[in-house]
């Protein structure tokens, strides 16, 4: 992957990165609040050769450097810890005192830095003070035992005990900065993994190869359309409306020798925008002056009645079982558009849709309407969608951007081919892209007198566009 590929991943997965940073910051805040503050008192010793014998300066320096490790261990040794415990009488055990002492040395230096950390500042200063007062005499005592010919070691205090007024632990700003860095790295890693493992279709380019048919339209998601209280319609000049008009034109000119009068709108899986697209097409065909019927053939999870704000208890199943006539269940919606709802859910949807009664009903509808659009069930979960598509003159296969996978598209095409259904082409739905990238006119291109507002509840001057229905 190139840098621009990573940038593209971050742009698409920004919410993953943001979530990782927020989680890391949340963990850090908990740690900061639950960690007991600790204060540090420190002092610095300088070790030097204390005898001016015949030895050179280099020999003395090498001897001091060799002794650094010994005196580092001496500062935390049992003798020193016991003296501190006896002098301070602070109730700490020798192990507790030893854990509070940290000795550091710099490479190439003869300085010893001693740091005492404690949750009580005064106790840290007290322990450091006792250690500073005891260490030089202890060194002098030990060095007197060395042979007279060898150079002795002298420990001098070059920095007295200094107490840092601010806690050394926790450090909120340091922890927050570290949390942000870790969150960015983890979030970016998760985003890359999601992108690599994501097999969903992100662009329309692969659809032609997967289906063997040209892509009929790229339909964007209309985020401004209402989500509640249907009918769920948006302005007829919206970007999605323009895309649906292109789809309507492509359907009309798909095959002039075999015009499509009965159209099935289906998809591989649920939630890919079948109902919204079927409604949009139905309204637009009615806008063109045709008598249009939209049929809710999704008998398991019907949605068109609620989508268009109509009654759904009586409809297709009512007619198929002979409980009502077609005229009794047809519901007008605006000018030139009628709705045939699904009706009550039957125990055998596939058998009912494939029955001879259904064939007779379709023949009757063909004589009465110019265009019949079926909101068909998805093809992969059940066989209902394939049954409906087989009875239509043509089928649209909706593919939802960044959700439908290539394997699902291939399986859906095979399901249509198995029943000899005619696939007009795929429709790439719910695309998030600017108008120019979709090949649609911008507001400047469509300047002109405003169109009438969406009807309440009838009329066809607005197109049902939004929602993964």
DSSP state letter for 451: P
- Whether domain 39-163 has CATH 3.30.70.1130: yes
Residues β-bridged to residue 103: 114
Whether 58 has a pLDDT exceeding 80, the answer reads: no
Confidence of residue 444 (pLDDT cuts 50, 70, 90): very low
Say how far apart CA 132 and CA 159 lie, in whole Å: 10
pLDDT of residue 446: 36
Residue 182, both tokens: 């870790």
Nearby residues of 376 by Cβ (< 8 Å), 6 or more positions away = 264, 265, 266, 274, 297, 298, 384, 385, 388, 389, 395
Report the alpha-carbon distance of residue 394 to residue 73 in Å, rounded: 87
Please report the pLDDT score of residue 364 as a whole number. Answer: 96
Q: Which pLDDT score, from 0 to 100, does residue 50 have?
A: 61
**Is the pLDDT higher at 191 or at 345?**
345
Of 311 and 462, the one with more pLDDT: 311
Kindly report, as residue ranges, where domains of CATH 3.30.70.1130 are found in the chain. 39-163
Q: How confident is the model at residue 197 (pLDDT cuts 50, 70, 90)?
A: confident
Where residue 270 falls among pLDDT bands split at 50, 70, 90? very high
Q: What is the pLDDT of residue 261?
A: 95
Q: Say which DSSP state 356 is in.
A: H
Residue 122 to residue 129: CA distance in whole angstroms: 10
* Ranges in the chain annotated CATH 3.40.50.300: 205-441+450-463
Of 78-82, 116-120, 364-368, 412-416, which gets the smallest average pLDDT?
Answer: 78-82
Mean pLDDT over 47-64 rounds to 61
- Summarised one tens digit per residue, pLDDT across range 279-327 is 999 999 999 999 999 999 999 999 899 888 899 999 999 999 999 999 9
What is the H or E stretch that residue 158 is in? strand 153-163
User: 377 in helix, strand or coil?
Assistant: coil
User: What is the pTM (predicted TM-score) of this model?
Assistant: 0.64
Confidence of residue 416 (pLDDT cuts 50, 70, 90): very high
DSSP summary character for residue 378: P
Model confidence band, residue 61 (pLDDT cutoffs 50, 70, 90): low
Pick the CATH number of 205-441+450-463 from 3.50.50.60, 3.30.750.80, 3.40.50.2020, 3.40.50.300: 3.40.50.300
CA dihedral 403, 407, 413, 416 (to 10 degrees): -90
Q: Where are the alpha helices (DSSP H) in 121-238?
A: 121-143, 172-197, 205-211
Distance CA 297, CA 312 (A): 12
Average pLDDT taken over every residue of the chain: 84
C-alpha distance from residue 174 to each of 32, 40, 116, 379 (Å): 11, 17, 21, 55
Longest dimension (CA), the chain: 124
Band (pLDDT 50/70/90 cuts) for residue 83 is confident
Strands 101-105 and 111-118 come out as antiparallel
pLDDT at 235: 64
Q: Report the half-sphere exposure of 414 (CA within 13 A, side-chain side).
A: 7
The number of beta carbons lying within 10 Å of the beta carbon of residue 159 is 14
Report how far residue 379's alpha carbon sits from residue 396's, in angstroms, rounded to the nearest whole number.
12
Is the pLDDT at 207 greater than 90? The verdict is yes
Note the pLDDT tens digit of each residue in 95-133.
Answer: 898 899 998 887 667 788 999 999 899 999 999 999 988
Render pLDDT for 176-193 as a digit per residue (tens, 0 to 9).
999 999 999 998 888 888
* Higher-confidence position of 144 and 201: 201
pLDDT band, very low/low/confident/very high, at 241 (cuts 50, 70, 90): confident
| Strand 262-267 versus strand 371-375 pairing type | parallel
Distance CA 401, CA 70 (A): 69
Most confident of 171-175, 232-236, 409-413: 409-413
Share of the chain above pLDDT 70, in %: 83
Average pLDDT over residues 150-166: 82
Closest by CA position to 247, among listed 368, 385, 394? 394
pLDDT surpassing 90 at residue 419? yes
Higher pLDDT, 55 or 301: 301
Q: What is the pLDDT of residue 459?
A: 42
């Amino acid at each position: 992957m190139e840098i621009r590929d990573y940038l593209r991943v971050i742009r698409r997965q920004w919410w993953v990165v943001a979530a990782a940073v927020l989680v890391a910051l949340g963990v850090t805040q908990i740690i900061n609040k639950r960690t007991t503050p600790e204060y540090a008192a420190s002092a610095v010793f300088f070790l030097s050769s204390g005898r001016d014998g015949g030895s050179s300066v280099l020999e003395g320096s090498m001897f001091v450097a060799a002794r650094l490790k010994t005196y580092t261990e001496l500062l935390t040794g049992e003798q020193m810890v016991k003296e501190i415990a006896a002098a301070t009488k602070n109730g700490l055990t020798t192990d507790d005192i030893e854990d509070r002492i940290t000795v550091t040395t710099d490479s190439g230096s003869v300085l010893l830095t001693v740091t005492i950390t404690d949750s009580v500042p005064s106790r840290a200063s007290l322990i450091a003070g006792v250690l500073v007062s005891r260490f030089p005499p202890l060194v002098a005592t030990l060095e007197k035992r060395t042979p007279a010919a060898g150079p002795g070691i002298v420990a001098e205090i070059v920095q007295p005990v200094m107490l840092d007024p601010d806690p050394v632990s926790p450090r909120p700003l340091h922890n927050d900065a570290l949390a942000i860095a870790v969150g960015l790295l983890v979030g970016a890693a998760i985003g890359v993994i999601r992108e690599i493992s994501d097999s969903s279709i992100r662009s329309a380019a692969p659809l032609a190869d997967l289906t063997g048919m040209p892509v009929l339209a790229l339909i964007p998601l209309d985020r401004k359309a209402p989500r509640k209280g249907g009918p769920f319609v948006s302005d007829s000049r919206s970007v999605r409306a323009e895309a649906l008009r292109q789809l309507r034109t492509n359907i009309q000119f798909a095959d002039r020798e075999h015009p499509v009068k009965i159209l099935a709108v289906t998809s591989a899986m649920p939630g890919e925008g079948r109902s919204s697209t079927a409604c949009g097409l139905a309204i637009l065909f009615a806008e063109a002056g045709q008598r249009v019927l939209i049929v809710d053939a999704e008998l398991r999870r019907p949605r068109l009645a609620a989508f268009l704000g109509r009654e759904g208890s009586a409809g297709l199943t009512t007619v198929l079982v002979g409980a009502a006539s077609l005229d009794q269940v047809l519901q007008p919606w605006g000018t030139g558009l009628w709705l045939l709802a699904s009706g009550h859910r039957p125990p055998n949807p596939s058998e009912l849709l494939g029955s001879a009664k259904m064939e007779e009903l379709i023949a009757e509808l063909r004589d009465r309407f110019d265009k019949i659009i079926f909101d068909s069930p998805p093809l992969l979960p059940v066989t209902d969608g394939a049954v409906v598509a087989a009875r239509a003159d043509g089928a649209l296969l909706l593919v939802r951007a960044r959700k439908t996978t290539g394997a699902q598209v291939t399986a859906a095409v095979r399901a249509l081919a198995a029943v000899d259904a005619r696939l007009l082409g795929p429709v790439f739905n719910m695309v998030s892209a600017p108008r120019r990238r979709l090949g649609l006119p911008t507001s400047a291109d469509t300047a002109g007198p405003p169109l009438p507002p969406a009807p309440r509840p009838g009329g066809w001057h607005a197109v049902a566009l939004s929602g993964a229905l």
